[in-house]
Amino acid sequence: MRSVRRRRLLAASLLTPLLAGCFASGDDSSDAGDAGSRLRVALAFPPAENFSPYGADATLLSRLGVTEGLTQLDANGAAAPALAQSWQRENDRSWLFTLREATFQDGTEVTADAVASALTHAADAKPQPAALSGVTVKAEAAGDGRVRVTTADPDPVLPLRLTSPSLAVLAPKAYEKGAVSPVGTATGPFELTKTSGSSSATLERFDDYWGGRAQAAGVDARFVADGTARANALRTGEVDVAEAIPVSQAASLKEGTRRETPTTRTTSLQLNTGKGVFEDPAMRAAAREAVNTSALADDVYEGYADPGAGLYGPALTWAAGKREKPAGRAEAARPDGESITVATYDNRPELPEVAQVLKQQLEKAGFEVKLEVREYSRLEGDALAGKFDAFVAARNTMLDTGDPVSILASDYTCDGSYNLALLCDDTVDEAVEKAEGTADEEKRRDAAMAAEADVLGADAFVPLVHQRIITGVGASVKGVILDPYERTLVGTGTRR
């Protein structure tokens, strides 16, 4: 057993610099710091599903360093090793993943059987994780610490898909009581030990983490929906890290505590194509023509955003050169007093202001507009059910899988699991299907941009701005991970 432990420590010393170097850090210092200190972190979104790994809460768990999957995204958006140290494609429907030596936080070993079971539970989850939208997967142990993952149809980006936070690997104990519990069952450097509803969570350092011992003793996470309150908590020293600082509060932070990160997050106006006023393509065209995106970027976001160009923003440097002109757009009709309800959430503090500006722009075009603003967890169900005419959302286009095609499948196809626009268009579905079947990376991106043009042509959504996220970091804090994909925030080197 001692030799196994020594091999793990050697692996950790080799791998940790590679993993930490994937994204920009809040500090490049290599000081060990105080091993007894705890991090105090303020997050914008409270858990909406009791920390289930299969929905929006999956990102909370990955950002806090609790969960991991077989693979992870590197800085270039490619699949990199995580619990799997390597993999190979056996044929167009089968991949073989070789596991590294690792331990679950309940003390049991990460085995091929445990990994296969975890992926099977994710595949069978209802509702289905967005990363598996339109994909049927089967996982089984293949001997010698390997797991074979097969798909019903060819899936050339499966290792990229498995980077999704919603496909985290948990210990068998996590699945014993019906509801999946990540408390003490994950593999990351921090163990979730206590939750207090939607207000806070306590994490302790997991000393047997395969990637090396974390430098902070633990994390005390608070969920603070109000952006001004998060900024105030950082200014007064109540927290060490505060995510998603409102642009209105950015200038009030001391120099050196404000970190700006270009992200793959796009704020958009999703139009309900399934029913109501915007079932009419001409009304959707009228809404699109009413929107002034430059005013939103300059005034609401105070320059911390770029005017919306499409689904994929400038953080994805390959997108601009491949963007196609939307085809088949309807001619705009005159709204003439059509009444619509526009909804949004206040967890991201700019969104209510965006909605207010949109209200003015839409009313100027002839719509009668009612706004509805709630906390996100109290809004998502109604939005997915199509109870609003339009929805202002900030969506990380690469969050679910890192594959540009995945958000098209989940958000804009007839069977999409997060289809806020209720779009069901044969042309779009065919374009997305073609993109999904394209293996070559460059050609896949070309196909994704062609599908984006079809979605824009249907006026299912209006891209408003491409965001830059502001993270508040205390002056004494080092090693915060500034991830453009917004999957990670706290890692082994984060400390104060």
Q: The domain that contains 54 carries what CATH number?
A: 3.40.190.10
Q: What is the distance between the terminal CA atoms of the chain, rounded to a whole angstrom?
A: 33
Which residues fall within 8 angstroms of residue 489, CB to CB, at 6 or more apart? 41, 63, 64, 65, 241, 243, 471, 480, 481, 483
Q: Which band of pLDDT confidence, cut at 50, 70 and 90, is reported for residue 23? A: low
Do 172 and 197 lie in a common domain? no
**What does the pLDDT read at residue 474?**
96
Do 315 and 457 lie in a common domain? yes
The mean pLDDT value for 364-379 works out to 95
Question: Which of 129, 154, 176 finishes a domain?
Answer: 176
**What does the pLDDT read at residue 35?**
52
Do 104 and 227 lie in a common domain? no
Do 377 and 459 lie in a common domain? yes
pLDDT over 90 (residue 401): no
In a domain, 345, yes or no: yes
Do 437 and 296 lie in a common domain? yes
Whole-model pTM? Answer: 0.78
Residue 496 sits in which domain range? Answer: 32-64+188-257+474-496
Do 424 and 481 lie in a common domain? no
In a domain, 182, yes or no: no
**What does the pLDDT read at residue 354?**
97
In a domain, 313, yes or no: yes
**What does the pLDDT read at residue 26?**
59
The mean pLDDT value for 135-155 works out to 95
In a domain, 25, yes or no: no
Measured between alpha carbons, how far is 425 from 36 in angstroms, rounded to an integer?
56
The mean pLDDT value for 30-57 works out to 81
pLDDT over 50 (residue 4): no
67 in helix, strand or coil?
A: coil
Indicate the DSSP class of residue 330.
Answer: P
Do 299 and 379 lie in a common domain? yes
The two three-digit tokens of residue 73, written as one number? 């995204």
Task: Express each pLDDT in 445-458 by its tens digit.
Answer: 999 999 999 999 99
**What does the pLDDT read at residue 13?**
38
The two three-digit tokens of residue 372, written as one number? 């509805």
Q: Which band of pLDDT confidence, cut at 50, 70 and 90, is reported for residue 7? A: very low
In a domain, 23, yes or no: no
Do 209 and 271 lie in a common domain? no
The mean pLDDT value for 56-70 works out to 96
Task: Express each pLDDT in 285-333 by its tens digit.
Answer: 999 999 999 999 999 999 899 999 999 988 888 888 899 999 889 999 9
Q: What is the CATH number of the domain that holds 378?
A: 3.10.105.10
**What does the pLDDT read at residue 8?**
39
Q: What is the CATH number of the domain that holds 147?
A: 3.90.76.10
Question: Which of 151, 176, 201 finishes a domain?
Answer: 176
Question: Which of 126, 142, 176 finishes a domain?
Answer: 176
Number of structural domains in the chain: 3
Measured between alpha carbons, how far is 244 from 233 in angstroms, rounded to an integer?
13
In a domain, 2, yes or no: no
Measured between alpha carbons, how far is 467 from 307 in angstroms, rounded to an integer?
9
Measured between alpha carbons, how far is 325 from 334 in angstroms, rounded to an integer?
24
Name the average pLDDT for the chain. 90
In a domain, 417, yes or no: yes
Q: What percent of the chain has pLDDT over 90?
A: 74
Burial class of 272 by CB neighbour count within 10 A (0 to 12, 13 to 18, 19+): buried
| Helices and strands (H, E) in the chain, number of each type | 13, 19
Task: Express each pLDDT in 165-175 by its tens digit.
Answer: 999 999 999 99
The two three-digit tokens of residue 88, written as one number? 């190979």
Task: Express each pLDDT in 226-262 by its tens digit.
Answer: 999 999 999 999 999 999 999 989 989 998 899 998 8
Q: What percent of the chain has pLDDT over 70?
A: 93
Task: Express each pLDDT in 179-236 by its tens digit.
Answer: 899 999 999 999 999 999 889 999 999 999 999 999 999 999 999 989 999 999 999 9
Do 272 and 376 lie in a common domain? yes
Do 216 and 352 lie in a common domain? no
In a domain, 14, yes or no: no
Do 102 and 237 lie in a common domain? no
**What does the pLDDT read at residue 491?**
97
Break the chain down into helix, strand, coil percent, rounded to 5. Answer: 30, 25, 45
pLDDT over 60 (residue 34): no
Do 350 and 433 lie in a common domain? yes
